[in-house]
Amino acid sequence: METTLRGVGVSHGVAIGEVRHMGTAVLEPPAKQITADEAEREQGRARQAVEAVSADLIARGQLAGGEAQHVLEAQAMIATDPELMADVDRRIAVGSTAERGVYDAFASYRDLLAGAGEYMAGRVADLDDVRNRIVARLLGVPMPGVPDSDEPYVLIARDLAPADTALLDPALVLGFVTEEGGPTSHSAILARALGVPAIVALPGAGEIAEGTLIAVDGSTGDLFVDPTPEKRAELEGAAAERRAALSASSGPGATSDGHKVPLLANVGGPADVPAAVEAGAEGVGLFRTEFLFLDDSRKAPSEEKQIESYRKVLEAFPEGRVVVRVLDAGADKPLDFLTPADEPNPALGVRGLRSLLDHPDVLRTQLTALAKASEGLPVHLEVMAPMVADRTDAKAFADACREAGLQAKFGAMVEIPSAALRARSILREVEFLSLGTNDLAQYAFAADRQVGAVSRLQDPWQPALLDLIAMSADAAKAEGKSCGVCGEAASDPLLACVLTGLGVTSLSMGAASIPYVRATLAKHTLAQCERAAAAARACDTAEEARAAAQGVLSGE
């Protein structure tokens, strides 16, 4: 009998296949004691296992490339953290085996992170995965992971570690469903990059029996257990229509009546550029520069290294627009040389622009490197600051850009509700706004973007979030300036129409989403988008807002 479950759809497309569950195993080693003369050998075993796991994560990242590479390299840094390794050595010195020392040291660090506030939950999940990989290697057992199968299947897991998600084979894994996670979790972001249909935050999915036929709609978040032949035909027909629309869509982003909406790509480094170019991106709306700084958390990269990396991206978009976000460190991206180690709540502390203003030499070097990287290129460079709270922040960043001799537009990200509320004031200091909807939702609703239990408050269809976006867009229009969206909200084709109706002037997303958004925008007029936006804002819940917008755009 067909039943329907509802989670959060995070990656477009339909997948129909039999269920396979992620492998699980108990990886807690026995509390066995060793003698003092065995300690040095056990410490050596622990170091070898840590180095092997770190090398494996880096290798997986290099194979995957793009966003996955940055995530996995950050995990490799966790594995080799000096403080963690010192704790492992101490525990072995007083009698623990290598595997038990690793397990207990990671458990202690895990407790510290958990106590630092829920914002760190994403790092806790990554920490657990690294610990399991090291312990599995020491115990000589296989690491639980993606099942072996010769036939395509739909994967169900409690959650997926970045190391697993990054190397999923789309030819075998038709789609995946997780019980935990959220629309902005690592798994969701990597699923979109892979183009694999996916649903997250669906409690109870793990109870679906192995081998059960299910259908996953990554656009709506619906999961159909034992779908009828009629339902399968309906879903397959809808998927075929989407594919036809994608193949027929090309060129710049625009509504059906010619209102231009530039479609830009979010990139994390040079490795992401080919996919963006292939998808027809009109430029880059969010160039995350953290990848350069994560190579060594103890010091900033040299100006020369930064120039080389920035120029590779800038050269890929001649005559195009490239919006660079300066270093966004802190919270879940701590750097030893930049961010405080003892903040009670890092998400509400010294992160983003706040860190850079405390270390003006780091900001000056990055801005100078960007200025030099753009010399002689016909690119339209724009540089923006993360975590701008008010006009004072905006002025400090604008002054730093001028002092560095940067010949570019400079702007502010709207990620804090105060920035949306006072957007017009901020725009008197900078030339554009860019809405980071992931963090804007997190701070507006006090809802950690990595915690599945509050994922409904991370839904970008929340009317209160739409209100904040509208405020920012209205302020930009009043000042004669631009206001784009570079958060994950822009990757939803239906929501892209609503954002256009709210007055957003450009949309930036993962490259895989660009064809879907382009095709959907091309089917609707600007007036329809404006009516859909008004209908969504008149609602009280995210579900009602989506349904109302869908009704307007479908002519119901």
Catalytic sites, residue numbers = 186, 486
Quote the CA–CA distance of 305 and 269 in Å, as a whole number. 13
Find out whether 360 and 338 touch, Cβ atoms under 8 Å: no
Residues 6+ apart with CB under 8 A from 133: 53, 56, 57, 79, 143, 163
Quote the CA–CA distance of 242 and 555 in Å, as a whole number. 18
DSSP 8-state symbol, 19: E
* Structure tokens, 74: 């950050």
Give me the sign of the Cα torsion angle 522, 527, 530, 531: negative
- Number of Cβ atoms within 10 Å of the Cβ of 124: 18
Quote the CA–CA distance of 466 and 284 in Å, as a whole number. 23
Helix axes 39-64, 98-115, angle to 10 degrees: 60
User: What is the full DSSP assignment across 333-382?
Assistant: B--TTTS-S--S-GGGSS-THHHHHHSHHHHHHHHHHHHHHTTT---EEE
Rounded to 5°, angle at Cα 102 from 98 and 105: 135
Least Cα distance to 436 among 302, 290, 320, 266 occurs for: 266
φ, ψ dihedrals at 264, nearest 5°: -115, 170
